[in-house]
Each structure stands twice: as structure tokens, then as C-alpha cells.
Chain A
Amino acid sequence: MKPRQTKSGNRLSRWANLLACVLACFWTAEGYRVCHADDGIEFFETKIRPVLIEHCYKCHSAESKELRGELRLDLKAGWQLGGESGVPSIVPGNADESPLIRAMRHDDDASAMPPSQPRLPDVIVDDFVAWVQMGAPDSRDGEVKRPDKVADWETTFQDRLDWWSLKPVSSPVVPDVQQNKWPRNDVDRFILARLESAGLSPVPEADRRTLVRRLSFALTGLPPEPELVTRFEADDSPQAWDDLCTVLLDSPHFGERWARHWMDVVHYSDTHGYEWDVPAKNAWRYRDYLIRSFNSDLPYPQFVMEQIAGDLLEPRIDQATGLNESLTAPMMLRLGERRHGDNADVEGVGQEAVANMIDTLGKAFLGTTLACAQCHDHKLDAVEQRDYYSVAGMLMSTRFSARSVDAVDPNESVISQLREIKRQLRKELARLWLDATATDRSGGVVDKIKAIAADGNSATAFPTSLAEFWKRSLSSPMTAEEFLQERERRIAANQKNLTLLADFTKNEASGGWRWEGFGMQHGLVRDGEFVITDEGDAALLHVLPAGRFSHVWSQRLAGSVQSPQFDPTSPVTFSIEFAAGRFASLSFILDRAINPERLTFPSRPLPGWQTLTSGNFSTLEGTPDKASRRVYLELATKSLNNYFPARVNYGGVKEEELADARSWFGVTRVYQHAPGQVPLDELSRFQPLFDELQGEEDWSLRLTMLLRTTVERWSAGECSEEDVRLLNDALNLKLLPNEIASDEEISRLVEEYRTAEKTLQPDRTIGSVAEWNEGRDERLGIRGSYTEFGDEVDRGHVRFLGEQPERETPSSSGRLAWVRQVVDHRNPLTARVYVNRVWHYLFGEGLVRTPDDFGHLGEAPTHPELLDYLADRFMQDGWSTKKLIRLLVTSSTWRQASVPDPKAVEIDPENRLWHHLPMRRLEAEAIRDAMLAVSGRLDRTLFGPAIEPFRTAEDAQKRLFKGPLDGDGRRSVYLEMTLMEPPRFLAIFNQPIPKQTVGRRDVSNVPDQALALLNDPFVIAMSKHWSDRLLTDGTSSPEHRIQGMLESAMARTPEPEEIASLLQLTRHSAELRGAAGELLECQIAWQDAAHVIFNMKEFLYVR
């Protein structure tokens, strides 16, 4: 690398030479203009043009296959006009300011030219500099016509709409066929017609046992139970196959199998990956939702609408669980890799999440690569860049909040029971407290006050508590004037300074603030309500002012409060009075972040003011789009906090605290005010102290009387907010008895309360979405940029789906209107894409072999008419997945044998015409589940939280712990899908990494799989489990046992030589292992037999 000085030195000296030359011309002829002989054109022709031709024309001329950066360098007008930046590439006379020269010098990385190559030799660069300095003479005349992008795109767009998958679904005529006996239904006629025209025939039907096994795996992902095989084999009725389908379609395991397919499409994971692999908030409830949805054959449009806009639909309630299914479904949008932090920490966090959602929405539901249009109009499909930002606007107008999904409140009766106990307790406590505040009571409040010692500070600060007033009285008792003056100052200041933003003492919080959760629902209280402790020696936790508190009945009930969106252009200062404990969080949520790192976990046992400023994010200052930030405030208990548990150690939360369901907070009011002018304690509760002052007062008596009258009001249910403060003050000072032990009746009531409280059912929550009618359009990101913007784009409109659907309200996100358009039968994609997925899962390949892409980059359907027939029929049949599956598996096409006719293979090697039903390797989950089932270890329980997968090494920092080796016998669908480390055994067999839609799994065939099957402890454990069971099977001979084993593993009757062969291995194994005695009793030999069966290809493949 030459040092810079030398380079510029060269440049200078060359420039000097040229200057001399030019000057010479100037002075010797009539003038510069006429100096043709050496006006630089020759220099251009000899030094510049050849270089341009050699190094630049490939991408920057009329001959370029694709004109890069819209820059032409084969005409003078080309560099004058410049490229897409719109800036001329050369500033004649100023090399340093000329982008072309800068690019040649590699001054800026991004635009270094020629691209991906070293700089051109210095001597060439110097020539160019000289040429520019002399005014860039250029003889190449001609006009550059800028393409009219808008008009061109419109033509292109219209052309692209003319594409098979965007045309309406037709109702094709079922073709005639020659082999009339073969078809069982219309599917077969479509298939056979094509086979016949290719001169091919379908292969014969597979044998019955093969068919049962095939159907069982296809519908439930499990091997058939032996009785089912025998029953079907013995059933000669024409209905037998249909009946078998019914049994398996009705099996609860059907939902597990088909939910797992859908989980590939939406890339289901239980965590969010990246650095900390934080949990995806209770995602498993969504997995259970999927299982229920498939089992109940939820019509597909409803299924789609719930996942995209379930929060906006009438709740659909599952009767068995009482869950609001539609509100559970939008977890779909949130699945995938999601960073922690927000756009104010690192620009792009939010945009990346949205990009992933758009990618999934496009591929999963529309078979369209929408996300390709983030940076530019789609290269091949009818997707505009505007479409991308239109969907982005819709998603960014949605809040990604945790939600309570209980459709019905299971706690009403317990709460009325608790209410009654509280009523009695209030009476009992009042009795005790009045006794304690009796002025003649020895050891009562009077004595306790007297025992409070003075300290040095008493005289300086204005007293705000019982203790401080007492201490003050010991040095210089306060006068009424002094008190009143201060009180009035405070009242006046509050009146002047504060504007009420939200009032949680009312049924509807004002100002658009909202709450969620059972805790909040039952948490609206009047002044003087109190909270009973759920453990320990104290009876009361505290007394509450009017407001909404999640823990009024129990700390296990959930709550959240959200503010409306703040105006990002003018930050608001406000104070919120709240109390909180046990890791309830307070956080600003910026740009819809789901794992915000702004959480604080305030521990605030009594309500107090906290002053906050919206939009006070220093890292946003000076960014170009501060005004577009979306900011709101959220308070939430653990279970309604998206980001709980947060990453390990965040906010000082100890890992052992995570499982504790208790968490609480409550809010009274929110005031807006100027910075510094915070709400002041008005001290009205102390006013009576200064009524009728006599001179020489007994302050202990006065304070006691003050407390006593307060207790009297509390007892009568008539106390005020100020009274509440005084009571809490007294409780803190232990002036009022609050020990359970102090009174038998109180002890009994508190115990009763605690017992009943434990029967309350906490909210079932999940990460979902919410709609606040605060929709706003997104701006188009120039070339996908996060910081350079074009116009705002109308949200909720993907153009190829038709006219913009009308939003429910102008300010809604547009999700509901959009999803209605998606599932409208006039949109041809939704049904086509889905029936193709179902076909793919049943047949191993789709009719369209790129199930996630029906665009120009995907494959065309092998049987377009059949695809349309199925889509049409699917819609006619009420979009029933089960009917569709039944139609397909009852076809003769699906019942073909798996071995192809060699002649057919020659003509159609990829089996695009379906001349046989190809053998397939079982999916990862089916391999594992089959081992569980055959060994007898399978636990058929449905639903529930994810089971940690088995691991050899743990990583506590990412909460990757070691689960049970056999997953407690549960099916693979219940194993925890951590993004950081999904179950390894499943990954080896191509369970996809859940980051993006995978409609079609890889099927690899690598030695790792052999190693796993030979040596993985899970496989060995299942072999052992099976063999242990076999030892007690009461079999009469090893042959019988082997026959039984092969029958249950392969669902067929083994040949005698197979039995002999496995028997030989079993004996051989017993010998090799030195096991003596009866073979039937030799556990290890049978374990070896079981192990080889698990390794047999016939076990691992389905024919």
C-alpha cells in the first residue's frame, strides 16, 4: 500500500504537467476553446475511454445485462446525470468531489469500484483525476433516457398478476379415464388421466398391513396399535378403510401430529434465541391450541383469522378448558428469533421482528415471499415494496402484549367467600384497634407513642408521619398556623400543577389507560380496603387507598396496566402513584418491543409517586425518526409481563424467584405536570391535631385520639385516602396490633382466608397481541433502510389481494380487515396453499413442490386442475381439514404400493405423476415417538408445559437444563423447542431450526443418524425398556417373542427366515456377552434384539 502523500504527490506533479500544457495552449492560440488539437479529447480517447470500456461498461452501459445503480458511463450524459443517487458522477474540475473518482480510489467502502476487486493501478486513477481536473472532456454524445419507474412498475405489476396462482380457483371438469375400475374418487381420475396420457399405470394397492401402518403414521404420527391392525385385516367390509380413517381422524393424537406440521410452518419455538434464549411467553399454550384446533377440525378461515387477528374476534371458548382460543392464537405472530432490547438500544430490533413476521405471513398463508420486498419491489412476483411496508404498518400498529386467556372467571365464588372473611376480619381488627387506642389503656398506643425517642432531625424537616409529629412535639411543638400554612401551600401547588391523566379509582380508568387480568378485574377498591398476608405472622400486609390493585384477593392473580401511546415529539412528564412487589415490572415499551430491557422491578410496599418522562431515551436524540417512535408505559405482574422471566440475572431477579407465582401492583392516579412540580402530600390527615389547640398539649394523647377517630371511620367503612395513609403509618410503627397470634379469632379468620385463597385459580396467560386503535402508517424504508424513508404507505393492503379492505375504524391496525381479505374465497392463494400443504404431508411432495412459494421462484403445480379441484372442494366442504384428509387417504392414488414400476421410473423419475406412493423416512418426531410406543414407554397424556429435552451439558445462563432422557415418555411435540438448542436427537433427523417457515423439511441421510441410532442413550434406554417388558410377557418360545416384537414394530407378520435370523442374532448376542442360562430370561440379549429392530430401515421408513 502506497502512503497517501506519495499518491497525492504523483497527482500533483501530473496535474502540474497538464496545467502547463493547457496553459501553453491558452497562451499560444486564440484561446482555450479553439485549442482542438489538445483540448483533452485525445487524452480522453487514449487514457479514459479504454479503461471505461474495460472496467465499467459491463455494468454501466447500454450493453449491460442489468444496469447497476442506474448509472451509464458509456455516454457523457450518463455521468452528468449520475446514478440512482441523482448526483452527477463527475464534478468537472473537482476530482475530490467526484463520486466516480472517490469510488475508484476506494475512499468509501460501500461504493468502491470496480466492485470486489483491488483498486485499479494508481497510474490509471491518476489519469482519471487529471481528466476530471481538466474539465472531464468527453466526446460521447447521446441522450440517456431514464426509465419511468412508476409507469414501468405498473406495467410489470399487471404482467405479473397474470400468474397461475393468482388466478381465481376454477371448478375443473373431472377428466374421463380408461381404467374405470381403479378410481375410488375424483382425485384418482385427475391422477389417472395424466398417467394414462403418459402411457403409465398406477402400481397395485399396497397390502393391508402396510396400509394401516401408513395411515396410522400419516394421521397420528404413531405406529398403529396391534389390535387396530388385526381388526382391519379381518374386516372384509367395503367400509373397513373408511372406518379405520374415522378411528384415526378421531384419535386425540391426530391433533398432535397435524399441530406439529403447522409448527414447522409458523416455526414454533419455546424461546426467542439470540444471546439469552429468553422464553417465548407461555408459547406452549399456543401449541395446545393447535392440537385442539386440529382435533376439533376448526374451519381453516377461522384458524387463520384467529392467528392473525384473534384478539379482534368474538372470543371462541373451548368448553373443556374455558380458554379463549382466539386470543391464544396470535402467539403465532411472535414466534421466532427475537432480540432483547428495543430500537432505542439498537436500531433494527423492531424492524427485524416485523420482517420475520411478514416473511411468515407471506409464506405460511399466501405462499408468497412478501419479505423479499423489504428493500425493493419483488424481483419476480406481483409484490411491491409498498406491500411490505403496508403489512409492517399493520403489525407496528399492534401491541404485542401478554394477555389473560381465561374466557370465564373461575374465581367468583371463592372471592365472595374471601369477601365475607374480610368483612368479619375488619370487625375483629377494629375491635382490637379501638381497644389499643383507648387513652386509658396501659401498654396501648399512648404508651407506644411515648416510647418513640427524639432524634436530631426532628426539628428540621416538615413532619409527615405520626412519629415525626411526636418527635417534633418534644422539641418545639408545631403551631396551627405553621401547619395550615404548609398544608395550604401544598394544596394550592397541587391544584395549580397537576392535570389528571388517569384515575384508577373509577370503574373505567380515564385517559384511555387500560387494565387486564383477574387481579385487576377484582382489584377496584374503595379507601380502606386491606390486603391479608398469605404467609407469616402479620395479619394485614397493608391498607389500600382507592384504586385498582392486583393483589386485593391474592398475590397470585395477574394484572397489567398500559398507558395510551405517548406523543413522541413532545415528551410528557407525569407522576404515577402505585405500589408494587414481588417483581411486578414498570417499563416503557418502545416500538412494540417484546423483550424490552427497560424493565424495573420496583419494590414499593405502599403507594407512592414516581415521576417519569415519556420518550426520554437519550439514544434516540438526534436520530432521524424520533417522531415515529411508539412509546407507552406498562405495569405488569410476572405472568402478564412479556419479558418475564427475562434473561438470567436481569433486574436482580434470582432464578429461584421465577417459579413463585406471586407478584402484585396497584395504581391510584396518574398526573401530568411540569418537570419538578410533582404531586405533594397534602397532610390533611393531621389537620385534627390542630383543632382547638389549648397551649400545653399532651401530643401523645392527641396523636392517639387522631388514630382512634381514624380507626372508627375505618371500622364503619367510611375512611378516606388520608385515613389510609395514617393507618398504614400506624401499622408500620406497630402502634396497632397486627399479629395473628394476638387474637384467636383473627388467627382463625386469617387461616381461613389463606386456605380459601389458595383455591383461587391464577390467570392463564400467553404472549399475544392487543389492538388500541392507535394505528399509524409506516414509511417506506429506502432500500430497506431503517433510517432513510420514503412516503407513508397505507397499512393493511397487499395489492395483489385486491382493493384495500376497509378498516373497522380509521385508527385500527387493519389486521382484521386484512385477514378477512386473506381468507375470502375470492383470494385463490389461501385455499390452494393449504390444500397443497395437506397433500405434501400425506404424499411426501406437494402438487406444488415448493409449498411456501407459489410465485415465480417456486415450482408450477404438477396437476393444476387437481389443485384447483381440491381447493374448490375444500372451500365447498366448509374448509374442513379432516374432510380433505379423508378424501385424499381414501383415494386409490394414496393406497398405491411404494415400489415403482421400473418403466415408470424411466419416464417419470421424480414421480411427478404419482405412479406409486413413495416410501419415506419417518420424521424425527415419529422416529422418537415410535420407539416410545413400541417399547411401551409412551405416555399418551395430551397438552401441558414443555418438557426440557435431554442434554449432556447444561447452560444455566441460557436456562438450558437437562431434561429426562426419555422426556417422561411424552410425545416429541411436547419437548421444549429452545431456539438455542432444540432437542438434539430430533435435530439429527431434520427437525428444522425454528427460525423461518419450513413447509418442506430436509431429509438428510448422514452418518450422524447411524451414530445416534446405534449409540444414543435414548435409543438404548428404549431398547432396555422394551426388553424389560418382554421378560414378563409369558411367551413360550423365543420365536414367539420375536414374532411379537416384529409384529408390533413393523405392523406385519414376519417371515420364518426373518424370525430365524433375529433369533440367531439374539443368541449370538447372549453368547458374546457371556450370558448363560435360558435365552428367554436373558435381558441383555433381548435388549440387543430390540435395539436392532429400532435400527432396521423397515422400522424407520414407512412404505
Chain B
Amino acid sequence: MFDRVIRNDRTLTQETSRREFLRSSSMGFGWLAFAGLANPLIAGAAPESQWASPQSTLNFAPRAKRVIFLFMDGGVSHVDSFDPKPELTSLHGQPAKWKPDPLSQSVSAGRKWLGSPWKFQQHGESGLWVSDLFPKAAKVIDDLCVIRSLTGESPLHGAQSLLMHTGRSIAAAPSMGSWISYGLGQENEQLPGYVLLNNDWIPNGGFQNFASSFLPATHQATLVRAKGTPVDNITAADPASVQRAKLDFLREQDSAFARTQGDSDAIESSIRNYETAAQMQTVVPGLCDVSGETAETQKLYGVDRDNDFDKFYALQCLRARRLVEAGVRFIEITCPSTHANNSPWDQHGALRLRHAENARITDQPVAALIIDLKRRGLLDETLVVWAGEMGRTPHSSGDDGRDHHVSGYTIWMAGGGIRGGMTFGATDEMGMSAVENRLNIHDIHATILHQLGLDHERLTFRFGGRDMRLTDVHGRVIHEILT
């Protein structure tokens, strides 16, 4: 990590000592701090002072301090959730034909329109439409901004998942969580900046979705599992006293070794890592343990539910709030895959059964998260994004399944300076193509960064000779949905 940053801006070595630089990097040195060092015009940006008021050098006044990304992977059906299509219902069973869209399949032979098996109703003061699939989300609809016009690049899980996470559907690029951790630096030096609350299913695209790629490794996601030990190697292998004795021994020996090596920075940094690691052993399990939460809160999220899938998803949502409070910058929650061989929402068949099951697992905890954040005054500064990597086709070759769909689908955002109770964008009357305010994922990324006070065109990292960006050469901030 250190080597790379040094290589990436040689001026740095002239302006600050390696030692000082290293100290900051071990804490998750942020891009803004980097910008501050590299650019003398940004005054008073010594690394140590960054953490006190990280926003002092942001590109914009931030509306959010952190992000919770609820990844609905496999692809929730937009026409069964937040994008009602009465016309689709009325043409149910009719042969499907549609206007060509470069993003949707061109062949319609044998395809029939499939009306939604769920009923839509208006909810809240905003009167937004939500289907019966998400009764709890319907209760917080006035806090949600429903975006109905997102498009992707290709109807493949792996490609779309990587695109959603990294802005690239192929090749290695840093995850948005890594970019944000890099951009803002860590609020809490005992914790990583990017945490992945996993539910034992790794989305298509694998760990690449959560990797820091060319960004310093410290910005990669730390994986917290739902079941069992939450973090790899987080449980001390030794009793505390023994470990302490080992740590003391190691500090002494390693310091002596460092001295024989001319006060090696790498060794000193590594010694410090042991102290951070030791703290993580204490802090992380504590954060992951929700038993101290009130019974009311636990019930609100549904930690008390019977089914393991339900219970663990609720647990992860509750942990997300605790991590938000602890100052983690980017928290992602993935869905469990209840049925082997399918990413969670990928219902080519058994749509009624499995979509309902997935909704049952996720709806209550997600709505609870909105309610809980709001009542604690955290929703304003926490941007919540609910999205899958695709939607599902309004047509079908059967009568209980929908296929991959990227020419127009729905996600929602809430909190963090996003206007609630509104919709943005629209698909055509059958839900096939986004026809109004067609967006791509880069626009969502640009908007997320914007809300955090980061200009997506200026948050860059020099790699392979290019100034790389999360949004590549794309992206526009969706000002229309901001408060």
C-alpha cells in the first residue's frame, strides 16, 4: 500500500517524511488527506488532523457521512415491487412484443406478458405505489426516493454485479465502498472503513465486488458473516493473558529487529498493526453482538424471527446501524440465497414463492433500519441505497418466472439528503425500457459520492498511467432527487 502511494506521487516524499506518511496510512489514509498533502493550496491538511474534521476539505458540503448499501442481488422484479404496470396486467397472457432496446433481448417468440401476481396500492402522504410484496417498505415510503429508470450493460449476473459495485463489468476495479473509504478516510481507527455484512452467499462476480483493486489494500471490505464467527481470525486463538504476553514479546523483539534494520518503517507499521488487530478482536465482536439492544429494537428488526434466513438478515441490518454509529463509512448487506444454485432474487421460475420468501426475509429488517436510523437522527446523515444488479422481464416463457432485465428497472435511495416520497424516471407502459430520465449505474455512483461531498470527477487514483475514477468517464449527479 505504502509503496504504491509513494510511487503514485513522488512529490509526497519531498513534502513529508516517510514515517509520518506511514503513520497516517496505517490508519487508512484518505484521499482527501492525500489531496491535502499533495496540494499545498488545501491548507492545514496534516494527516493527523484529518480525522477530527474530515469534511473540511471535501469538494462539496456533504449531506451524508456514510452509506448503507442493501444489495438485492439476483434482481428484484421492478414490475412486482415499485413500478406498477396496469397495462401489463390487462395484457396478461397475451403474446409479448416490444420496441427494440439495445439492452433487452430482441427475440420475443414464445414470450407472453406476465402481469404482476401482487397487488399495488398507494401508500403514505406521498401516495407512492408499492406492491403487497413489500408491506413494511410501504410504511416508510415517504422516506424513499424510488428510481424507476436505471439501466445496465448486459443481462448477466456477474457482469452486472461487478458493474454495480465497481463501475466496470469486466476487469478489476475498486469497489465503491473502497473508493468511499479511500476518499473519506476512516472515522474510527479501530475499525475498517468498509464492512461487508454477508449472509453466506457471495454474489456473482465474487470477492472482486468488494475488493480495493488498485486502491490501497486497507480499503477493501472486511467481511462480517451472519453465522458463527463474524470476522475471519477475529477470535483470539489464545486466552487474553497469553496473547498479551505474546504481543509484548513480539513488540520487544520486533522493535529490536527494526533497529537492526535501520528503523524500518515497514516493521514499525507492522508492529502497530498488531495493536490494531488486538483492538479489533475486542471491538468487532462487541459491535456484532446485538444482545444489548432493547427487546423492542430487536423485535423491530426481527432478530427474534424463527427462520434462520430471516433472523440472520435482521441481525445484519441491526449490526449495520451499530456500525453506522461506530463510524464505518460504507456498509453493504448482501442477501442470503435460500435455494441452492440461484442468486437470491433470480426467479426464472417459482416467482410467486421465492420472491415472497426473499421479501419476507428482507422487508422487515430493511424498513426497521430506516425507522431506527430516523428516530436516532441518523437517517439525515446516512445514505441508504436499496438495489439489485438488474430487474426482471415483464414477459415470460412460463407463467411463474421472469428473466434478466437491464433496460429499465427500479432501485430506491433514502436519507443522506435524498428527497423521500418521490419517484424519478419511468419505464414504458409495460415496464420494458426506461423511457424517462434513463440512468446508468455511473449516475448512481456519482450521486452517492456527491452526497458524501465528493466530486466523482475529482476522486481519482493514478493507476496504469491513468487517473482512474469510480465513474470511469461517465456519470452525472442526479440533482433532481436531492433535497
Contacts and interface: CB of A to CB of B under 8 A. Distances in A.
A1007 B204 contact: no
A377 interface: no
B254 interface: yes
A955 B342 CA distance: 12
A369 B463 CA distance: 13
B98 interface: no
A627 interface: no
A1014 B477 CA distance: 45
Given A273-B206, A1096-B254, A1097-B254, A1011 B266 contact: no
B233 A1016 contact: yes
Nearest to A844: B3
B81 interface: no
B476 A995 contact: no
Interface string B228-256: 11011111111101110110011011100
Interface stretch (B39-47, B58-66, B82-90, B152-160): B152-160
Interface in B253-283: 253-254, 257-258, 260-262, 264, 266-267, 269-271, 273-274, 276-278, 280-281
Interface string A1053-1069: 00000100110010011
A1015 B171 contact: no
Contacts of B241: 1072
A1072 B245 contact: yes
A1016 to B, nearest CB: 5
A883 interface: no
A124 interface: no
B246 A1002 contact: no
B195 to A, nearest CB: 13
A224 interface: no
Contacts of A1061: 249, 252-253
A994 B206 CA distance: 12
A856 B464 CA distance: 11
Contacts of A112: 476
A155 interface: no
Query: Is chain A's interface secondary structure helix, strand, loop, or mixed overall?
Result: loop
B232 A1068 contact: no
A901 to B, nearest CB: 9
B218 interface: yes
B29 to A, nearest CB: 12
Contact of B235 (A619, A1015, A1068, A1101): A1015
A821 interface: no
A1073 B242 contact: yes
Interface stretch (A22-30, A114-122, A168-176, A230-238): A114-122
Contacts of A1098: 253-254, 257
Interface stretch (A529-537, A603-611, A691-699, A976-984): A976-984
A984 B232 CA distance: 9
A510 interface: no
Interface string A105-129: 0100100100111100000000000
Nearest to A956: B340
Contact of A980 (B106, B206, B274): B206
Given A909-B18, A1061-B249, A1101 B232 contact: no
Contacts of A648: 341
Contacts of B274: 1007, 1010, 1014
B257 A1096 contact: yes
Contact of A1 (B7, B261, B266, B437): B437
Interface stretch (A291-299, A750-758, A1087-1095): A1087-1095
A116 B172 contact: no
Contacts of A909: 13, 18
Contact of B270 (A856, A1005, A1065): A1005
A393 interface: no
Contacts of A1062: 249
A380 B246 contact: no
A346 B270 contact: no
Interface in B185-227: 200-202, 204-208, 211, 216-218, 222, 225
Contact of B266 (A109, A921, A955, A1072): A921
B118 interface: no
Nearest to A1084: B242
Interface in A905-940: 909-910, 919, 921
B475 interface: yes
B109 interface: yes
B170 A1097 contact: no
Interface residues on B, range: 35 or more
A953 B336 CA distance: 14
B232 A995 contact: no
Contact of A275 (B158, B239, B264, B271): B158
B172 A1073 contact: no
Nearest to B22: A1005
A348 B207 contact: no
A346 B170 contact: no
A476 interface: no
B270 A348 contact: no
B105 interface: yes
Given A380-B465, A1005-B270, A1015 B233 contact: yes
Contacts of A458: none
B216 to A, nearest CB: 7
A410 B261 CA distance: 57
Given A996-B172, A1004-B217, A953 B262 contact: no
A898 interface: yes
Contact of B273 (A274, A277, A1006): A1006
Identify which of A1, A380, A853, A1017 gathers the most chain B CB atoms within 10 Å of its CB. A1
Nearest to A381: B465
Contacts of B476: 112, 115-118
A858 B465 CA distance: 7
B236 A1015 contact: yes
B219 to A, nearest CB: 10
A1015 B211 contact: no
A857 interface: yes
A995 B239 contact: no
Identify which of A622, A910, A1010, A1065 gathers the most chain B CB atoms within 10 Å of its CB. A1010
B172 A993 contact: yes
A980 B446 CA distance: 28
Contacts of B258: 1097
B136 interface: no
A1092 B246 contact: yes
A909 B7 CA distance: 12
A1015 B269 CA distance: 19
Given A1-B424, A1011-B277, A1092-B250, A1004 B218 contact: yes
Interface in B119-178: 151, 154-159, 170-172
B254 A116 contact: no
Nearest to B474: A116
B267 A1012 contact: no
Interface string A1010-1040: 1110111100100000000000000000000
B446 A1095 contact: no
Contacts of B253: 1058, 1061, 1092, 1096-1098
Given A980-B207, A1072-B242, A1092-B253, 16 more contacts: A1-B424, A115-B476, A116-B477, A339-B159, A899-B260, A952-B228, A1004-B217, A1006-B1, A1008-B232, A1011-B277, A1015-B235, A1015-B236, A1015-B237, A1062-B249, A1069-B246, A1072-B241
Closest 7 pairs (CB-CB, A-B): A857-B465, A1004-B217, A1010-B277, A1015-B233, A1011-B233, A274-B158, A1007-B276
8 contacts: A898-B261, A1004-B216, A1012-B232, A1015-B281, A1065-B245, A1073-B242, A1095-B246, A1097-B271
Interface of B: 1-4, 6-7, 13, 18, 26, 105-107, 109, 151, 154-159, 170-172, 200-202, 204-208, 211, 216-218, 222, 225, 228-229, 231-239, 241-243, 245-246, 249-250, 252-254, 257-258, 260-262, 264, 266-267, 269-271, 273-274, 276-278, 280-281, 340-341, 424, 437-440, 446, 456-457, 464-466, 471, 474-477, 479-480
